[in-house]
A and B are shown apart, each in its own frame.
Chain A
Amino acid sequence: MLEQAIVPSRDSFWHRFRRDGGGLAAVTLLLAVIAVALGAGVLSHADPFHTSRQRLLAPATGHLLGTDALGRDQLSRVLYGGRTSLEVGVAAALLATLVGLAVGAVAGYAGGWLDDLLMRITEFFQVVPRFFAALVVVAVFGSRISIIILVLGLTSWTVTARILRAEVLSIRGREFVTGAIVIGAGRRRVLLRHILPNALSPVIVAGSLQVGGAMLAEAGLAFLGVGDPRVVSWGSMLQEAQRFMRSQPWLAIAPGLAITLTVLAVNRFGDALNDALSPRRRR
Chain B
Amino acid sequence: MSRYLLRRLMQVIPLLFCIVTLTFALIHAAPGDPATYLAGDSASADYLKFIRHRFELDRPLPQQYLTYIDRLAHGDMGRSFTQGSSVAGLVRGRLGATLLLVGTATVLATVLGVGLGIAAAGRPHSLFDGAIGIVSLAGYSMPVFWLAQLLLLVFSLELGWFPTQGMTNVRQNLTGLPHLLDVGRHLVLPVAALTVQQVALIMRLTRAGLLEVLEQEWMTAARARGLPERLVIFRHALRNALLPVTTVIGSHIGFWLSGAVLTETVFGWPGLGRLTLDATLSRDYPVLLGILIAVSLAVVVANLATDLVYTLLDPRVRLA
Whether B145 pairs with A132 at a CB distance below 8 angstroms is no
Taking a contact as CB atoms closer than 8 A, the residue among B30, B258, B277 that contacts A140 in the complex is B30
A223–B141 Cα distance when bound, in Å, is: 16
- Among the listed stretches B44-52, B237-245, B286-294, which one makes contact with chain A, having 4 or more residues with CB under 8 Å of it? B286-294
Interface of A is mostly: helix
Which single member of B150, B255, B303 contacts A129 (CB below 8 Å)?
Answer: B255
Contact yes or no, B149 A242, CB < 8 A:
yes
- Assess the A132–B140 pair: CB atoms within 8 A: no
14 other contacts beyond A136-B23, A224-B262, with CB at 8 A cut-off? A124-B18, A128-B296, A129-B292, A132-B276, A141-B26, A220-B262, A223-B143, A226-B281, A242-B149, A245-B152, A263-B143, A267-B141, A271-B137, A283-B208
With a CB–CB cut-off of 8 A, which chain A residues contact B266?
242
Partner of B146, one of A126, A133, A252: A252
A256-275: which residues lie under 8 A (CB-CB) from chain B?
256, 259-260, 263-264, 266-268, 271
Chain B interface bracket (under 10, 10 to 19, 20 to 34, 35 or more): 35 or more
Interface residue ranges, A against B (CB under 8 Å): 124, 126-133, 135-141, 212, 216, 219-220, 223-226, 235, 238, 241-242, 245-246, 249, 252, 256, 259-260, 263-264, 266-268, 271, 283
Does B143 contact A256, Cβ atoms closer than 8 Å? yes
Q: Could you show 19 A-B contacts with beta carbons less than 8 Å apart?
A: A128-B254, A130-B255, A131-B254, A132-B254, A132-B258, A136-B288, A216-B141, A219-B143, A223-B145, A225-B281, A238-B146, A245-B149, A252-B146, A256-B146, A256-B150, A260-B141, A267-B140, A283-B204, A283-B208
Q: Which residues of B contact A130 (CB under 8 A)?
A: 254-255, 258
Q: Is the CB of B145 within 8 A of A238?
A: yes
Taking a contact as CB atoms closer than 8 A, the residue among A127, A226, A268 that contacts B15 in the complex is: A127
Check if B299 sits within 8 Å of A226, measured CB to CB. Answer: no
Residue from the list A135, A141, A245, A252 in contact with B288, Cβ < 8 A: A135
Residue of B149, B152, B285 near A139 (CB, 8 A) is B285
Q: Within 8 Å of chain A (Cβ to Cβ): is B227?
A: no
- Enumerate chain B residues within 8 angstroms of A137, measured Cβ to Cβ: 26
